[in-house]
Amino acid sequence: MAEYEALIGMEVHAELLTESKMFCGCRNAFGGEPNSRCCPVCIGLPGALPVMNKKAVEHVIRTALALNCTITPNAKFDRKNYYYPDLPKGYQISEYDAPIGVNGWLDIEVDGKETRVRIRRVHLEEDTGKLFHVVGNVSHVDYNRSGVPLMEIVTEFPPDMTTPEQARAYLVKLRSILTYIGVSDGKMEEGSLRCEPNLSVRLRGSETFGTKTEIKNLNSFRAVYRGIQYEVGRQIAMLERGEKVVQETRGWNDAKGQTFPQRSKEEAHDYRYFPEPDLVPLQISEAWVEEIRSTMPELPDAARRRFVQQYGLPAYDADVLTQTRAAALFFEETVRQCNDPKAVSNWMMGDFARLLNAENREIGESRVTPKMLAEMILLIKDGTISGKMAKELFEKMFATGESPRKLAEAAGPQITDSGAIQAIIAKVIGEMPDVWAALCAGDEKKFGFMVGQVMKASQGKANPQEVNRLLRERMQQG
């Protein structure tokens, strides 16, 4: 089989975190009673006019700066005309030939290899409503989302990415930056961050480009990865069979793990763009840009380097902990209160992350605060609770939001009494004399095992430092 390469571009839409919608005073939020956050402007009543939300423009400038873009001083809005029932005005206010940010880039790393992904444009537009197909000949429209500020980030052509791993890395990093600078909550499942890769394949070394397809409704990093992987395979198989790839938009069926045709190019719209006469052109002054630049938070790359240097964390830990600003802030605040970076990192990447994932929650949405985690780590350090008790305690803390000290008290006191621990040690030795003999004969690897057995026999309540000390004492006694 001939050797192919894929060229992968990416269009990302992010709903912006603003108080109100893009062009009216309605609240910008997710869900809720259908059509409860609407007004004449965002349902397109005759005579209603848009008024620009300055905060949304600021968010886009901030993003453009974070992505190393050039800011267009005379950016403007245009109308993108097409018909769909979820688009109340029959056009979407967007930016066509003078987007706010142009010519940026984002560096990504896959398997130690760095790639610069060029970004063509970052622009601002308004989101549409949502159409629900009800049984039979009936549909309903919810305009709560209509007019929510939406940012579009488009990679340059020809694409710089060639593998699904790169596409995923790009998206992970982009999401991290967007959440860091506070412009997006990055929730792919709720659709506040939407990703539409486009890709084509060609024979390696070829100068021409293959026909590209675009994939829609990918709502997780995993889906993006699988979708691209599937689509690359599908296109190569077609070329191998001597068939032609059709330019089209394809949907993603997550259950089947397949893409399927949604809309072909023949049905593509002529959007009849023209400058939006209801809005005056944006005047983005250098002073405004500088003001935004000066309030830019530390970006993930810089935070990651600093975490390694300042806290002595392994690169991997630093990478994970800086993926969202919420996590980075949580980490730093917890460390400030307990002064044990590695312990904090272990908890955050271990039990905490596992529990959050299971409930599909973000770190900021958890009942566990930095203060609580720090307190728990200090309780372990001073021997009030054992590591094993801490695991259970953390789960209770995660579920109830109760302070670790109170939970520790409720769980009953730790066994610190030497006599009691010695009795347990004696019982364990009695149950496994061979192990004990090996340990006493100098097999140090058995020491940890014995400690574990004693802790288990005490139902995790024995003070581990005491168990250690008393075991050594007993070994010396022979």
Partner 1 sequence: MAALYNLTAHELSAMLSRQEISARELTESVIARIEAVEPKVRAYLTPTHDLARQQAAEVDERRARGDSLSPLAGIPLALKDILCTRGIRTTCASKILHNFVPPYDATVVSRLREAGAVCMGKVNLDEFAMGSSTENSAFGPSGNPWDVERVPGGSSGGSSAAVAAGEAIIAIGTDTGGSIRQPASFCGIVGLKPTYGRVSRYGLVAYASSLDQAGPMTRTVLDAAMVMNVISGKDPRDSTSVDLPVPDFTQACRPDVHGVRIGVPKEFFAQGVDTAVAQCVREAIETLCELGATAEECSLPSIEYCLAAYYIIAPAEASSNLARYDGVKYGHRSREWAGHIGLMEKTRAEGFGAEVKQRIMIGTYALSAGYYDAFYKRAQQVRTLIRRDFDRAFSQYDVLLTPTAPTTAFRIGEKADDPLAMKLADVCTLPANMAGIPGLSLPCGFIEGLPVGLQIYGKPYDEETLLRVAYTYEQATDWHTRRPAL
Binding site for partner 1 (CB under 8 A): 40, 43-52, 79, 81, 83-85, 88-91, 139, 141, 270, 272-274, 277-280
Please list, in sequence order, all residues whose beta carbon lies within 8 angstroms of the beta carbon of residue 85, skipping any fewer than 6 positions away.
Answer: 131, 139, 141
Separation of alpha carbons 130 and 136, rounded Å: 18
Query: 50 touches which of Zn ion, partner 1, none (CB within 5 to 8 A by kind)?
Result: partner 1
Within 306-345, the residues that bind Zn ion by CB under 5 A are none
Contact between 363 and 331 (Cβ < 8 Å): no
Query: 79 touches which of partner 1, Zn ion, none (CB within 5 to 8 A by kind)?
Result: partner 1
- Which of 7, 16, 17, 24 binds Zn ion (CB under 5 A)? It is 24
Query: 42 touches which of partner 1, Zn ion, none (CB within 5 to 8 A by kind)?
Result: Zn ion
Query: 49 touches which of partner 1, Zn ion, none (CB within 5 to 8 A by kind)?
Result: partner 1
Separation of alpha carbons 445 and 439, rounded Å: 8
Query: 289 touches which of Zn ion, partner 1, none (CB within 5 to 8 A by kind)?
Result: none
Query: 164 touches which of partner 1, Zn ion, none (CB within 5 to 8 A by kind)?
Result: none
Give the range of 22-30, 196-204, 207-215, 264-272 binding Zn ion by CB under 5 A: 22-30
Give the range of 38-46, 292-300, 411-419, 430-438 binding Zn ion by CB under 5 A: 38-46
Query: 193 touches which of partner 1, Zn ion, none (CB within 5 to 8 A by kind)?
Result: none
Closest CB to partner 1 among residues 2, 138: 138
Helix (H) or strand (E) holding 305: helix 300-311
Separation of alpha carbons 77 and 100, rounded Å: 10
Closest CB to Zn ion among residues 26, 57: 26
- Secondary structure E strands in 146-300: 149-155, 193-203, 213-215, 248-253, 258-264, 274-275
Closest CB to partner 1 among residues 242, 277: 277
Helix (H) or strand (E) holding 429: helix 418-431
57 binds Zn ion (CB under 5 A): no
52 binds Zn ion (CB under 5 A): no
- Which of 39, 279, 353, 411 binds Zn ion (CB under 5 A)? It is 39
Per DSSP, the three-state class of 119 is strand
**Cα torsion 141, 144, 149, 154: sign:** negative
Closest CB to partner 1 among residues 141, 318: 141
Main-chain phi, psi angles of 120, to 5 degrees: -80, -45
Per DSSP, the three-state class of 257 is coil
Q: What share of the chain is helix, strand, coil (3-state, %, to 5)?
A: 40, 20, 40
Of the candidates 155, 161, 78, which has an alpha carbon nearest to the alpha carbon of residue 121?
155
Query: 45 touches which of Zn ion, partner 1, none (CB within 5 to 8 A by kind)?
Result: partner 1
CB of 33 to partner 1, least distance (A): 18
Query: 26 touches which of Zn ion, partner 1, none (CB within 5 to 8 A by kind)?
Result: Zn ion
Contact between 439 and 410 (Cβ < 8 Å): no
Return the number of other C-beta atoms located less than 10 Å from residue 69's C-beta.
23
6 binds Zn ion (CB under 5 A): no
Residue 101 Rama label (left phi>0; alpha psi -120 to 50; beta)? beta
Query: 81 touches which of partner 1, Zn ion, none (CB within 5 to 8 A by kind)?
Result: partner 1
Helix (H) or strand (E) holding 175: helix 164-180
Of the candidates 31, 28, 30, 55, which has an alpha carbon nearest to the alpha carbon of residue 42?
28
Closest CB to Zn ion among residues 39, 329: 39
Whole-Å CA distances, 137 to 34, 129, 140, 232: 20, 19, 11, 37
292 binds Zn ion (CB under 5 A): no
42 binds Zn ion (CB under 5 A): yes
CB of 271 to Zn ion, least distance (A): 23
Closest CB to partner 1 among residues 113, 133: 133
Give the range of 24-32, 65-73, 78-86, 323-331 binding Zn ion by CB under 5 A: 24-32
26 binds Zn ion (CB under 5 A): yes
CB of 129 to partner 1, least distance (A): 10
Closest CB to partner 1 among residues 281, 412: 281
Of the candidates 368, 446, 372, 457, which has an alpha carbon nearest to the alpha carbon of residue 408?
372
Per CB under 5 A, residues contacting Zn ion are 24, 26, 39, 41-42
